């Protein structure tokens, strides 16, 4: 069964490619954005007609959270209209959709595990447009798996882990936010989970949550990165108020993963174990 990956050049797309290679899965198709622009419906329709996918994984998104506050139209165009375009084409061509969403659809004001059925009340434009995209998929395509994730990182693209390692190499001291709590997600683990969902053949469509196990702050995350990489940096905990940003972030966005674990039999690694694997892989890549 051919699986079409949209947003193939991004962080998750690259992780899907790496995981598919490691697992000897040769049915994934990674088209270039020049022929897979989710805003160009006619080009996308041609792609669907030519490739005839049974599944589509949508990794394409506008993810610049702070920039989105000023770039509302483009953010909505990609996260909402783009998602709708894909959903309608999946319906037209009989494909099942795996769509990646975010913990930022939640307000995150209460320190309780977030379940799929909990009311989503985004507090920034990025989260709002991702929720709008979810709604358009739900309204137009029955055969969908929406997977919300959080704090994505890997050895690919730009992310918090790579930023911390770079800063840690140049500085002796850093101040990191300690009052935003969430769960880091190693994008390699998410890629494996997505492929497990597809491989299961199960038709329990709907919304699912996936992140690594555990709940930590950005401060804890940074400390873990420096500890595992043996980088000598003094890390100071600071409140959100000491580092104002354009977009407001949830204070607590730890998601309950029970549904995806029980439905598909997926084992979710602990955040620190996955971070060790990522930093080891970065070290190997640096030496190559």
Q: Which residues are catalytic?
A: 126
- DSSP assignment of 58-73 equals E------TTGGGT-HH
Q: Beta-carbon neighbour count of residue 283 at 10 Å?
A: 13
Q: The tokens of 11 are what? A: 């962080």
Q: Are 177 and 219 spatial neighbours (Cβ–Cβ below 8 Å)? A: yes
> Alpha-carbon distance 63 to 75, whole Å?
8
Q: Are 104 and 124 spatial neighbours (Cβ–Cβ below 8 Å)? A: yes
> Alpha-carbon distance 170 to 168, whole Å?
5
Q: Are 178 and 218 spatial neighbours (Cβ–Cβ below 8 Å)? A: yes
> Alpha-carbon distance 82 to 11, whole Å?
18
């Amino acid at each position: 069964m051919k699986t079409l990956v949209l947003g193939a050049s991004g962080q998750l797309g690259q992780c899907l490619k790496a995981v598919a290679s490691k697992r000897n899965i040769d049915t994934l198709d990674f088209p270039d954005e020049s022929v897979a622009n989710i805003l160009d419906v006619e080009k996308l329709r041609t792609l669907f007609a030519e490739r005839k996918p049974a599944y589509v994984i949508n990794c394409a998104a506008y993810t610049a959270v702070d920039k989105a506050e000023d770039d509302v139209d483009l953010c909505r165009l990609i996260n909402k209209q783009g998602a709708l375009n894909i959903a309608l084409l999946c319906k037209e061509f009989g494909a099942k959709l795996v769509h990646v969403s975010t913990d930022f659809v939640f307000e995150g004001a209460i320190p309780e595990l977030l379940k799929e059925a909990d009311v989503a009340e985004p507090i920034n434009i990025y989260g709002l447009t991702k929720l709008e995209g979810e709604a358009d998929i739900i309204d137009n395509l029955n055969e969908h798996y929406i997977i919300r994730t959080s704090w994505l990182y890997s050895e690919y693209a730009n992310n918090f882990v790579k930023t911390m390692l770079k800063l840690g190499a140049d500085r002796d001291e850093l101040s990191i936010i300690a009052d935003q709590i969430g769960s880091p997600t190693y994008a390699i683990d998410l890629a494996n989970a997505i492929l497990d969902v597809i491989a299961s053949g199960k038709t329990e469509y709907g919304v699912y949550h996936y992140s690594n196990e555990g709940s930590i702050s950005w401060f804890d995350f940074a400390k873990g990165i420096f500890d595992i990489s043996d980088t000598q940096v003094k890390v100071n905990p600071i409140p959100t108020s000491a580092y104002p940003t354009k977009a407001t972030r949830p204070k607590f966005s730890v998601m309950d993963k029970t549904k995806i674990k029980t439905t598909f039999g997926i084992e979710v690694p602990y955040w620190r174990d996955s971070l060790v694997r990522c930093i080891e892989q970065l070290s190997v890549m640096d030496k190559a």
